């Protein structure tokens, strides 16, 4: 079993798709280990996406990620990191496969409904960024 980290982004929460996305994740074998709705502060979003700080879209991405509530999730299944990336679909919804979260619910390459960790190492870092050890291990 492996854990990964995911965020239902502000566009998908605002358009009322959070429940459908959680359901799709469960249907794909993910167990919800920890779950929290919150609104990210600017510094939380900047820190989370620090790897993209030099990209031209960074300020816009931080503004988007702080515009409204998000759902933070710790998810568990076999091969969770890779499987979540598959269920999410390509970053740009125009390139996302049929049936993926981004094909179904993303508005654009920026407003793309869901985040998922891209490797086991980043999953561990991102889980620890938002959840306590107790939250990740109690249930």
Residue numbers at the binding site for ligand ATP (CB under 6 A): 52, 57, 61, 91, 109-110, 112, 115-116, 118
The stretch near Mg ion (CB under 5 A) out of 11-19, 56-64, 99-107, 118-126 is 118-126
Least distance to ligand ATP, CB of residue 135, Å:
21
Do 119 and 85 touch, CB atoms closer than 8 A? no
Q: Going residue by residue from 64 to 103, which x/- string records binding to Mg ion, judged by CB under 5 A?
A: ----------------------------------------
Cβ contact 77:2 at 8 Å: yes
Q: Which one is catalytic: 46, 114, 115, 130?
A: 115
CB of 55 to ligand ATP, least distance (A): 7
Q: Is 115 a known active-site residue? A: yes
Residue 27 to residues 100, 102, 103, Cα–Cα distance (Å): 12, 16, 17
Helices (H), 5-97: 10-14, 18-27, 42-48, 58-65, 80-88
> Under 8 Å CB-to-CB from 20, ≥6 apart: which residues?
104, 105
Q: Which residues are catalytic?
A: 115
Query: Which residues in this chain contact Mg ion in the complex, by CB under 5 A?
Result: 118
């Amino acid at each position: 079993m492996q854990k990964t980290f995911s965020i239902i982004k502000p566009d998908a929460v605002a358009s009322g798709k959070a429940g459908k996305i959680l359901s799709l994740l469960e249907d794909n074998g993910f167990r919800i280990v920890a779950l929290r709705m919150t609104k990210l502060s600017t510094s939380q979003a900047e820190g989370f996406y620090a790897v993209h700080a030099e990209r031209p879209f960074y300020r816009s991405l931080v503004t988007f990620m702080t515009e409204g509530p998000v759902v933070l999730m710790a998810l568990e299944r076999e091969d969770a990191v890779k499987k979540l990336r598959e269920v999410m679909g390509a970053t740009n919804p125009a390139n996302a496969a049929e049936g993926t979260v981004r094909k179904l619910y993303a508005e654009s390459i920026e407003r793309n409904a869901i985040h998922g960790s891209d490797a086991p190492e980043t999953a561990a870092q991102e889980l620890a960024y938002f959840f306590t050890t107790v939250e990740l291990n109690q249930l």
